[in-house]
Amino acid sequence: MRGFQQHKIRKIKELSGRLWDFTALENAKDGEEPPGSEKGKILEQDRGKSKSEKMFVPGCAENCPGYENYRGKSSWWTQFEAQGNVRIVCEGVSHFGEIFVDGKKLAEHYGSYTAFSGCATDLKPGVHLLEIIADNAFAEEYSLDFPNDYYSYGGVTRDVMLEEVPFLFLSCIHVTPLTRTKDGWRTRIEVFCRNLSGESQFTDLRGEIAGTVFSAQHILVPEAAVDLREKNYSPYAGNLIYSEELTIANVETWSLENPALYKVSVELVKNGEAFDDLIERIGFRTVRVDGSRILLNGKALRIKGFCRHEDHPQYGCALPESAMAADLQLIRDMGGNSVRTVHYPNDEAFLDMCDEMGILVWEENHARGMSEEQMRNPLFEAQCEAVIREMIWAHYNHPSIYVWGVLNECSSDTEYGRSCYNAQFSLMRKLDKSRPCTYASCKFQTDICQDLPDICSWNMYPYWYEQDTATERLNELCTWLKSLQKPLLVSEIGAGAVYGFRSRGHEIWSEELQADILRNQLRETAEFEACSGSYIWQFADVKVSREWALRRPKSRNNKGIVDEYRRPKMAYEVVKEIYSGLGNYREG
């Protein structure tokens, strides 16, 4: 659910936020098949009737007692009342999802962290059955999901919305703030629309951004967008029906200190009557890269960041909004001004909060630590690119997002890897020319892709995995990359500690040692002139896959500054002291 109202005309209803029925379709509790089902599939006649548990949506299968280690297909169903054309929007199903209404499949989608939707036309008035099948199996056809240093949960993990739509409806608005002039903000606006009718249609359009109105008449919308014929189920996909540059007067600039937000609203109109609408929220600001500096509204940023996974022992990856807000409050309390959404696009509600709180976001596509062999999976490129496309389409308007990332710690040291990085950066730049892009590398001098991104970002663990100091490491990198003249970010830095393990000798995994290491790491990176800032790995401890657990006490990646329940470790005060003592901008 967004942090603001998106429709005044279109009828929408949240289907999440309540209990649904849930049936595990394989390896069920007690090791038995659920009655009325075949392995991996509910039989047609039993759809919606099989033995079930009650589960809250959004939710993860793993949160249901007895299913803590569940992997495979599960069925989630509920009922709704509606008629006519209905669109079901799933913000996230982990990691392969299918939408059925009254037994008829409307859409399928791979990718836990981006939205998809299915449309049913001409539903009869009355009660209908919605079933979502989620699959979190590790398999060749899911190239981005495999045992990893975080947990791949399964289920209907983000909100589900029901929308009653006309045959022609708005799918997306993109607003790009270009420059601030003496008359206001020069801004580009693009509007996209979908047509379910099976024939071309005409429509008029009217809209408003912060008091400036615009309109267009007699726009032809072709029968269906080409990308929809290609089974693109992104709710944002559609035909471009309006593109204009306008000057918006009397608006304040969005910044960390003053996160001013404005509404843009668009209506589709026939014979003077509005029949559909969409409201988006925007902020006016620019992000540019200039030599070694990252400029927000012309000022050189100092990033005081945290890497954050969507993970909590009580909710899995389906954190309620109150828990997201609590995380941001802790980040703020520690003096942080940025979050890196490791290693996937985040819940839109979280991004809305970052917009409102003036917290910058590095958002990235979903790929962590993949070898060349994994990247050679024939589905890899298409699946990565789908995440990029869906992420940028959906999150384009968030002023908090200042950089897009790809492919964390993948094979940027091989020729084949380079071709993937190159293709993904090209796609990002095609979809969004207004933001820089980057990737987090751990390959140091063997990396052969540093010419490709706008910002060079390094994951480093001085005093933990690595023997050299942060200053030595940064010096080496700067000397090596001098000719590129690009900004440098530390995209991960940190050390592990098991909450509550205290040791006079500052032993490995003690809170004392973690605090010592963070103190050195953060001081050295802050004092390093050419560095635009750092992202601490990581905000909170997270669950890891069983295959990783031997290297990770308590089956957690324990480098959190707070533990998995958000209890502060000793390092909390160290980070707070250092980050709070630094401003949001660098000198010069």
Per CB under 6 A, 521 contacts ligand ADA: no
Q: Give the residue, chosen from 47, 71, 366, 559, that forms a contact with ligand ADA under the rule CB under 6 A.
A: 559
What is the smallest separation between the CB atom of 148 and ligand ADA, expressed in angstroms? Answer: 8
Residue number, 135 or 511, with CB nearest to ligand ADA: 511
Verify binding: residue 543, ligand ADA, rule CB under 6 A. no
Instruction: Closer to ligand ADA by CB, 255 or 545: give it.
Output: 545
Query: Please, which residue, 459 or 521, has the CB nearer to ligand ADA?
Result: 459
- 239-248, strands of its sheet edge to edge: 168-181, 184-195, 239-248
Q: What is the dihedral of CA 545, 546, 547, 549, to 10 degrees?
A: 90
User: Burial of 408 by CB count in 10 Å (0-12 exposed, 13-18 middle, 19+ buried)?
Assistant: buried
Q: Measured from the CB atom, is 402 or 537 closer to ligand ADA?
A: 537
Contact indicator for 29, 64 with CB cutoff of 8 Å:
no
Q: Which is nearer to ligand ADA, 237 or 562 (CB)?
A: 562
Q: Whole-number minimum distance, CB 559 to ligand ADA, in Å?
A: 5
Closer to ligand ADA by Cβ: residue 116 or 458: 458
190: how many CB neighbours lie within 10 A of its CB? 15
Cβ at position 368, least distance to ligand ADA in Å: 5
Instruction: Look up residue 81 and give its two tokens.
Output: 């009342």
Nearer to ligand ADA, 138 or 214 (CB): 138
The residue (of 400 and 459) whose beta carbon lies closer to ligand ADA is 459
DSSP string, 99-127: EEETTEEEEEEE-TTS-EEEEEEEEEEEE
Provide the minimum distance between the beta carbon of 122 and ligand ADA in the complex, in angstroms, as a whole number.
Answer: 47
* The one among 117, 337, 408, 438 contacting ligand ADA by CB under 6 A: 408
Closest CA to 361 of 430, 259, 446: 259
Q: Contacting ligand ADA (CB under 6 A), which of 557, 561, 563, 568?
A: 557
Q: Does 368 bind ligand ADA (CB under 6 A)?
A: yes
Judged by CB under 6 A, the chain residues 236 through 295 that form the site for ligand ADA are none
Residue nearest to ligand ADA (CB): 149
Helical axes 380-395 vs 415-431, angle rounded to 10°: 30
According to the binding rule CB under 6 A, does residue 149 interact with ligand ADA?
A: yes
Nearer to ligand ADA, 26 or 409 (CB): 409
Per-residue x/- track, 325-364, ligand ADA (CB under 6 A) = ----------------------------------------
CB of 137: closest distance to ligand ADA in angstroms? 22
Q: Residue 391: which residues within 8 A CB-CB, separation 6 or more?
A: 113, 114, 345, 363, 365, 404
Closest CB to ligand ADA among residues 353, 406: 406
For residues 352 and 397, the answer to whether their CB atoms sit within 8 Å is no
User: For ligand ADA, how many residues bind (rule: CB under 6 A)?
Assistant: 10
Distance separating alpha carbons of residues 568 and 305, to the nearest angstrom: 17
Q: Say whether 148 sits in a helix, a strand or coil.
A: coil
In the complex with ligand ADA, which residue's Cβ is closer, 22 or 113? Answer: 113
**Helix spans in 396-510 (H):** 415-431, 470-481
- Nearest distance from C-beta of residue 537 to ligand ADA, angstroms: 6
The answer, yes or no, to whether the previous bond of 125 is cis (omega within 30 of 0) is no
Least separation in angstroms between residue 370's CB and ligand ADA is 11
| Residue 557: CB minimum distance to ligand ADA, A | 5
Where does residue 581 rank: exposed (0-12), middle (13-18), buried (19+ CB within 10 A)? Answer: exposed
Pairing of strands 455-459, 437-441: parallel
518 contacts 574 by C-beta, under 8 angstroms? yes
555-567 core/surface letters (b: 16 or more CB in 10 A; e: else): ebbbbbbbbbebe
CB of 420 to ligand ADA, least distance (A): 17
Residues of span 49-108 touching ligand ADA by CB under 6 A: none
Assign 384 to helix, strand or coil.
Answer: helix
Residue 143 CA to residue 459 CA, distance in Å, equals: 23
> Do 162 and 15 contact (CB within 8 A), yes or no?
yes
Determine the length of the chain.
588
61 Cα distance to chain centroid: 21
| Radius of gyration, alpha carbons of the chain | 24
Nearest approach in angstroms of CB 328 to ligand ADA is: 21
CB of 491 to ligand ADA, least distance (A): 8
Nearer to ligand ADA, 130 or 495 (CB): 495
Least distance from ligand ADA to the Cβ atom of residue 481, Å: 19
Choice between 136 and 459, CB closer to ligand ADA: 459
459 contacts ligand ADA (rule: CB under 6 A): yes
Binding stretches for ligand ADA (CB under 6 A): 149, 368, 408-409, 442, 459, 492, 537, 557, 559
